[in-house]
Structure 1
Amino acid sequence: MPKITQGAFSFLPDLTDDQIAAQIQYALDQGWAVSLEFTDDPHPRNTYWDMWGTPMFDLRDAAGVMGELKACRTANPDSYIRLSAFDSTRGWETVRLAFMVHRPTQEAKFRLERTEGPGRVQHYSVVRA
C-alpha cells in the first residue's frame, strides 16, 4: 500500500532514529528551532496539526529532541508525527525543513472524486477512503 508523502525525504524509505537524529542535529547546528506536530488527518490541505509541547528554541543537542519525539510517539502511536525546523533569521523567518518522523501502522487512504457541473466547471473533492 502506498504511503502518505509529505515533506523532505517523503519518497525515501522511512528514516531510522539515527538518521532522524542526524537531520535534527544539522537543523540545530544551523540555529533553527525544532518542533514536533501530530495528526490523524495527514491530508496535504490540512495545515492544522496539533503541536507537541512548544518549539524547542533552546535545545542544541539532538538527544533532547529525540526524547520529546519518543514521548510523542508513546502518547500518539496511531498518529502521523512531523518534525519542522524553523529559521528565525531576519529575511528568512520560515520553515526550512519538515519531514515525517512517525506513521501509524495503518496508513490513511484518500481518493479523488470528480463531478462535473454546468458548462466547463469541474469540481474535485478528496475523500478519505
Structure 2
Amino acid sequence: MRITQGTFSFLPELTDAQITKQIDYCLAKGWAIGLEYTDDPHPRNTYWEMFGNPMFDIVDAAGLMLELRSCRRTFPSHYIRLTAFDSTHGTESVVMSFIVNRPKDEPGFRLIRTEEPGRTIRYSIEGYAAQRAPEGSRY
C-alpha cells in the first residue's frame, strides 16, 4: 500500500532535482522549511519527529538537500516529510508538505468495524506498523 499524504501525494515519487525545484519555490516565497520523520504514518499522526530545527534563514536549496540526505542516511526505513511554513501572519502555518522518503515495504492499514448500541456502526483504521513492537523498529 502506498501512503498518500501531502501536496504531491498522487504523483510518482519526486526525484532529488524535482525536490530541489520545490525547495527553491518555497524559499522564493520566504517560507521556512523543516524535515520530519516517522515510522507510523497514520493520517491522524500529524506530529512527526523533527530532524533538527526548521531552517528559517536558509537561502539555498543545496543546504536543505544536504540535511535531507543526512536524514535519509539516519532513517532509511522511515517516512520523511518536507514541510514549508509561512510565518507572515505571526504564526507558523504549514503551507506545503510532501513525502520525500518512504520505506521499501509499506504495510498499510486495516479497517476496524465496531458495532455500537442502536444499530450504530463505527469505523476506524489502525496502521499495521503500530502492531509491531518496539516503537522505532516496526518496519
Paired residue for 1:44? 43
Paired residue for 1:80? 79
CA–CA distance in structure 2, aligned partners of residues 7 and 37 of structure 1: 13
Shift of 1:128: 2.5
Paired residue for 1:21? 20
Residue pair 1:4, 1:108 contacting (<8 A) in 2 also = no
Paired residue for 1:102? 101
CA RMSD, Structure 1 to Structure 2 (Å): 1.3
CA–CA distance in structure 2, aligned partners of residues 50 and 11 of structure 1: 23
Shift of 1:125: 2.3
Aligned partner letter, 2:126: V
Residue pair 2:40, 2:127 contacting (<8 A) in 1 also = no
CA–CA distance in structure 2, aligned partners of residues 20 and 4 of structure 1: 18
More helix by share: 2
SS in 1 for 2:53: strand
Shift of 1:122: 1.9
**Structure 1 segments unaligned to the other structure (5+ residues):** none
SS in 2 for 1:15: coil
Scaled by the length of structure 1, the TM-score of the pair is 0.94
CA–CA distance in structure 2, aligned partners of residues 100 and 18 of structure 1: 15
SS in 1 for 2:119: coil
Shift of 1:97: 0.6
More strand by share: 1
Aligned partner letter, 1:9: F
CA–CA distance in structure 2, aligned partners of residues 73 and 7 of structure 1: 18
Scaled by the length of structure 2, the TM-score of the pair is 0.87
**Structure 2 segments unaligned to the other structure (5+ residues):** 129-139
Shift of 1:91: 6.7
Spell out structure 1 runs of 4+ moving beyond 2 A: none
CA–CA distance in structure 2, aligned partners of residues 77 and 91 of structure 1: 35
